[in-house]
Amino acid sequence: MGSPLLTTTGAVEAGAPDAGVALHYGDPVREQRALARGDGLVDLSHLGVVTIAGADRITWLNTLSSQLLLDLAPGVSSEVLLLDVHGHIEHAPAVQDDGETLWLITEAASAEPLAAFLDSMRFTLRVEVARREDVAVLGTHAGGWSRLTDHEAHLLTWQDPWPRVGAGSTSYGPEEAEHPGIEFHRAFSLVRREALTAVVAAAQQDGARLAGVWAWEALRIEARRPRVAREVDERTIPHELDWLRTAVHLDKGCYRGQETVARVVNLGKPPRRLVFLHLDGSDHLLPEAGAEVTLGERTVGKLTSVARHEELGPIGLALIKRNVDPEAELSVSGIAAAQEVVVRPDGVTDVRPAERPGAGLRRRTI
């Protein structure tokens, strides 16, 4: 079912994975500028919301996920990865506790399988899992969420930690101060769905304007921020997307997929790496997400996200083979693409042991 905000004058509905909300409202350039300065409000009511209630909720999610949550205080924003046994990413929900309930924000297509997985892992613990279709998500940037907090229908606001490296984590990309996303300050605000239009109307009276997911995605891509619905396939491990920096604690206890996370950090290298692409815009064409990325005649990866940025022009994210020369000019659907490194080609982090574990041991002579 589509959002009621699609009846807004000029609204054009987005396609998957954002079907049900507006791609834009007739002026995507001005919408993006408004969003970047903190005046834009994005309808993300198609996203999924799952809650976990009960006395064991935090310790329980801590045992299942990649993040250390034991000291998670009410109102603090975090994110977790839920991996399969081979370390592949299955879910990456935003997480915040309100003192009584854990709130998880996830992709539209992920809400049902996420809730089903969590429900299957309850056993005898004091937790209750629920999908919250009565709650809608609104997106803002640059502190725009402050317009929403005084409304009686506002429940909480999650502030994105990207790209800051969390305690106990590491990164495969630029240092925080040099990261292109360091000024990326987006937020998800949860409101009661029945009051969605009223909340938006109140924000508009306070100077906000609606912006579509075109603008939202352009700023995400600019910040090199990975997204499950775009950058993740059945083989993706967190290292390939530099997702350890905000969602993985390397010193916490055992969880599903931890062996792969530790092995790649300490001994291996990610087989692929995320890159930012500047696409040639001279023909005014955008390739489709999912298109092959080629180097000469050789396919080296795929385009995962693409948008037209109001300053940078056509931009994208792509997942390519790690050993591709970072200086090489690539091509996407016949369109020239220049790389910027997101995940370093050497595939090594600053926490990797200088010497392979066990390398100093010698076989005992009998």
Whether the predicted pLDDT of 363 surpasses 50: no
Give residue-wise pLDDT tens across range 276-310.
999 998 888 899 999 999 999 999 999 999 999 99
Domains of the chain: total: 2
pLDDT in the model for residue 366: 39
Residue 60 CB-density burial (10 A; 0-12 exposed, 13-18 middle, 19+ buried): buried
In a domain, 357, yes or no: no
pLDDT in the model for residue 356: 64
Q: Please give the average per-residue pLDDT across 171-198, as a whole number.
A: 96
Q: Give yes or no for a contact between 289 and 239, defined as CB atoms under 8 angstroms apart.
A: no
Residues 6+ apart with CB under 8 A from 170: 244, 245, 250, 265, 349, 350, 351
In a domain, 364, yes or no: no
Residue pointed to by tokens 């010497």: 355
Q: Please give the average per-residue pLDDT across 159-172, as a whole number.
A: 96
Give residue-wise pLDDT tens across range 218-227.
999 999 999 9
Closest alpha carbon to 294 in 326, 329, 323, 267: 329
Whether the predicted pLDDT of 357 surpasses 80: no
Length of the chain: 366
Closest alpha carbon to 177 in 167, 169, 165: 165
In a domain, 173, yes or no: yes
Q: What is the dihedral of CA 84, 132, 188, 26, to 10 degrees?
A: 110
CATH of the domain at 326: 2.40.30.110
Q: How many angstroms separate the CA atoms of 99 and 185, rounded?
A: 24
Provide the 8-state DSSP code for 260: H
In a domain, 362, yes or no: no
Q: Are residues 137 and 218 in the same domain?
A: yes
Whether the predicted pLDDT of 42 surpasses 60: yes
Q: Which of 168, 199, 230 is the last residue of a domain?
A: 230
Listing DSSP states for 174-198 in one string gives --GGG-TTTT--EEEEEEEGGGHHH
Q: Are residues 166 and 101 in the same domain?
A: yes
HEC profile for 216-254? HHHHHHHCCCCCHHHHCCCCCCHHHHCCHHHHCCCCCCC
pLDDT class of 334 with cuts at 50, 70, 90: very high
Residue pointed to by tokens 């613990």: 125
Q: How many angstroms separate the CA atoms of 7 and 10, rounded?
A: 8
Q: Give yes or no for a contact between 335 and 350, defined as CB atoms under 8 angstroms apart.
A: no
Q: Give yes or no for a contact between 212 and 22, defined as CB atoms under 8 angstroms apart.
A: yes
In a domain, 261, yes or no: no
Q: Are residues 148 and 64 in the same domain?
A: yes
Q: Are residues 69 and 185 in the same domain?
A: yes
Q: Are residues 193 and 296 in the same domain?
A: no
Closest alpha carbon to 4 in 197, 268, 204: 197
327 annotated as belonging to a binding site for a ligand: no
In a domain, 355, yes or no: no
pLDDT in the model for residue 359: 54
Q: Are residues 70 and 119 in the same domain?
A: yes
- Output the pTM of the full model: 0.95
**3-state SS of the chain: helix, strand, coil percent to 5?**
25, 30, 50
Q: Are residues 199 and 278 in the same domain?
A: no
Residue pointed to by tokens 């994005």: 42
Residue pointed to by tokens 């996200």: 305
In a domain, 143, yes or no: yes
Q: Are residues 117 and 62 in the same domain?
A: yes
Q: Are residues 128 and 200 in the same domain?
A: yes
State the residue range of the domain holding 213.
4-230
Q: Which of 230, 249, 279 is the last residue of a domain?
A: 230
Closest alpha carbon to 187 in 148, 222, 218: 148
In a domain, 139, yes or no: yes
Share of the chain above pLDDT 70, in %: 97
Q: Which of 182, 211, 230 is the last residue of a domain?
A: 230
Q: Are residues 29 and 89 in the same domain?
A: yes
Tell me the backbone φ, ψ of residue 133, rounded to 5 degrees: -75, -5
Q: Are residues 190 and 325 in the same domain?
A: no
pLDDT class of 120 with cuts at 50, 70, 90: very high
Q: Are residues 201 and 298 in the same domain?
A: no
pLDDT in the model for residue 124: 87
CATH of the domain at 208: 3.30.1360.120
